[in-house]
Amino acid sequence: MVATLRSRCVFLGAPGAGKGTQAKKVAEGARLAHISTGDMLRAQVAAGTALGLEAKGYMDAGKLVPDQLIIAMVKARIAEPDAAHAWILDGFPRTLAQAEALDKSLSGASALSHVIAFAVPEAVLVGRLSGRRTCGSCGAIWHIESNPTRVAGVCDACGGALVHRSDDRPEAITKRLEVYRSQTAPLLAYYRDRGLLREVDANRPPEVVFQELLQRMR
Ligand SMILES: [Zn+2]
Is residue 152 situated within a structural domain?
A: no
Choose, from 42, 94, 128, 133, the residue flagged as catalytic: 94
Is the Cβ–Cβ distance between 117 and 199 less than 8 Å?
Answer: yes
Is residue 159 situated within a structural domain?
A: no
- Ligand 1 centre to CA of 141 (Å) is 8
State residue 85's pLDDT score.
81
| pLDDT tens per residue across all 218 residues of the chain | 567 788 999 999 999 999 988 999 999 988 899 999 888 888 888 999 888 898 888 888 888 788 888 888 888 888 888 888 899 999 899 899 999 988 888 877 778 999 999 999 999 999 999 999 999 999 898 999 989 999 999 999 999 999 999 889 988 999 999 999 999 999 999 999 999 999 999 999 999 999 999 999 98
- Alpha-carbon distances, residue 207 vs 119, 142, 149, 161 (angstroms): 16, 16, 19, 26
The residue range of the domain holding 52 is 8-121+180-216
State residue 179's pLDDT score.
92
- Ligand 1 centre to CA of 139 (Å) is 6
Please, which residues have CB less than 5 A from ligand 1, an ion?
Answer: 135, 137-138, 140, 155, 157-158, 160
What's the CA gap between 105 and 99, in Å, rounded? 10
Is residue 110 situated within a structural domain?
A: yes
State residue 5's pLDDT score.
82
State residue 90's pLDDT score.
93
State residue 8's pLDDT score.
92
State residue 2's pLDDT score.
64
- Total domains in the chain come to 1
102: domain CATH number is 3.40.50.300
Active site residue 204: no
Is residue 210 situated within a structural domain?
A: yes
Active site residue 165: yes
Is the Cβ–Cβ distance between 47 and 41 less than 8 Å?
Answer: no
What's the CA gap between 68 and 213, in Å, rounded? 30
What's the CA gap between 99 and 97, in Å, rounded? 5
Query: Counting runs of H as helices and runs of E as strands, what totals does the chain give?
Result: 9, 8
Pairing between β-strand 114-119 and β-strand 197-201 as defined by DSSP bridges? parallel
Residue 92: Cβ within 10 Å count: 24
Q: Which helix (H) or strand (E) holds 143?
A: strand 141-143
Is residue 75 situated within a structural domain?
A: yes
